[in-house]
Amino acid sequence: MNESLEQLFVKQLKDNQNIIHKICRLYTSGEDAHKDLFQEITLQLWKAFPKFRGESKFSTWAYRVALNTAITLYRKSTRSISTVDYESKSYFISQEDYNTEEEEQLLLIYKAIHLLNDIEKALVFMYLEDKCYTEIAETLGISEVNTRVKMNRIKGKLKKILNP
Amino acid sequence: MKELDLLKKDWQKDTNFFEQLSESAIYKMIHKKSSSLVKWILIISLIEFVVLNGISLFINDENIDDFLIKHPYLDLINYVNYIVVISFIIVFYKKYRAITVLDSSKNLIQQIKATRQVVNYYILWNVLIGGFFGVFGIIDGFNNSFTKNNAVNTNIKYILIIIFVLLIMGIIWGFYKLLYGGLLNKLNKNYKELMKIDL
């Protein structure tokens, strides 16, 4: 029983690992911190897995656990570094359609997001994942109105960072 | 906002950009130990309780026996202290169970805030009880060492008592800061950052 639960979890996580990679990308800079956070999120997901009933999609369920881990349970000094170092540059850019100007722009946006605080990053993450305000509000435990207000503020903040 | 939408477009297409982990790598990950702060608070408090009380079991000092015979009510307070400390450990355990990643972020933050408070109360309790016992010990010490021949001025005596008790409390406080300081700092940093956002 336990064995099959483990198999099921590992398979589901393997198929959905990009969600976690994406969260690590927003919350950390550098490969080591990325791996550390990925490890901790995986553990927290596994610990919580027996409570996952399959009512929602694995990915939806994983958002909450992963974001909460990134926001509250995980603290490493390395992650507070807000600049993106040179090495990790390649890591952020999709290689297919090569477009230097767009790449530069994306890099700047990531840099700006790294300057946001943990909750703001969570909002940005769910926005990028195309989640509706109802779901964002429910995950964070705040009202929908509050979520909209915060999201607008974040957009303002990012605009200010990007166009000083 | 056009920048964020540009990112969103890129975000949703680069699904296979990350180095993909194999099933066996994930197997390895789930068999590692988590580094939950609250778990450590619980473990340290338990070790501390066992070690400190273990030491007092092995020390069979007649002076301590005499001291307790002289002040029978202190024995009672000692038992009260046991009950309080055990209650704290139970609360730590409950907090450890209550802090779940399945909660909404807001509730989770509030639980963490509460845990931090409880640890602070725990430290405060230990400092106060240490100071309380210290007062009795020092008064006894004074009475034993100063007879009528070399009596000290009452005012000086009180000042010395206060200084000694503050010193004892300071040492106990320092001990707990050392023990829990790192963990509290981490919780605190968390908390400050999160409260800025006013969820």
DSSP B67-116: HHHH-HHHHHHHHHHHHHHHHHHHHHHHHHHH--TTS-HHHHHHHHHHHH
A1-81 has which fold? Rna Polymerase Sigma Factor; Chain: A (1.10.1740)
Q: Which two tokens stand for residue B94?
A: 């409950």
What gap in Å lies between CA A163 and CA B3, rounded to an integer?
11
Q: CB-based contact (8 Å) between A153 and chain B? A: no
- Beta carbons of A71 and B15 less than 8 Å apart: no
Identify the residue whose tokens are 């656990």: A65
What gap in Å lies between CA B142 and CA B130, rounded to an integer?
18
Q: Which CATH architecture has domain A97-164?
A: Orthogonal Bundle (1.10)
What pLDDT, on a 0 to 100 scale, did the predictor assign at position A149? 92
% residues pLDDT > 70 (chain B): 81
Global pTM reads 0.71
pLDDT digits (tens, 9 = 90+) for B112-135: 778 888 888 998 998 998 888 888
Nearest to B197 among A108, A119, A141 (CB): A119
Residue B143 C-alpha, separation from nearest chain A C-alpha, in angstroms: 52
Would you say A68 and B105 are in contact if contact means Cβ atoms under 8 Å apart?
yes
Set of chain B residues whose Cβ sits within 8 Å of the Cβ of A128: 4, 7-8, 11-12
Determine the residue among B30, B38, B199 to mutate to test chain A binding: the one whose Cβ has the most chain A Cβ atoms within 10 Å: B30
Residue B2: enclosing H or E segment and its boundaries?
A: helix B2-13
pLDDT digits (tens, 9 = 90+) for A73-86: 665 544 444 444 44
Exposure of A150 by Cβ count < 10 A (0-12 exposed, 13-18 middle, 19+ buried)? buried
Domain ranges of chain A: 1-81, 97-164
Nearest to A141 among B27, B196, B199 (CB): B199
What pLDDT, on a 0 to 100 scale, did the predictor assign at position A148? 93
Residue B90 C-alpha, separation from nearest chain A C-alpha, in angstroms: 21
What ipTM was assigned to the predicted interfaces of this complex? 0.72
Residue B91 C-alpha, separation from nearest chain A C-alpha, in angstroms: 19
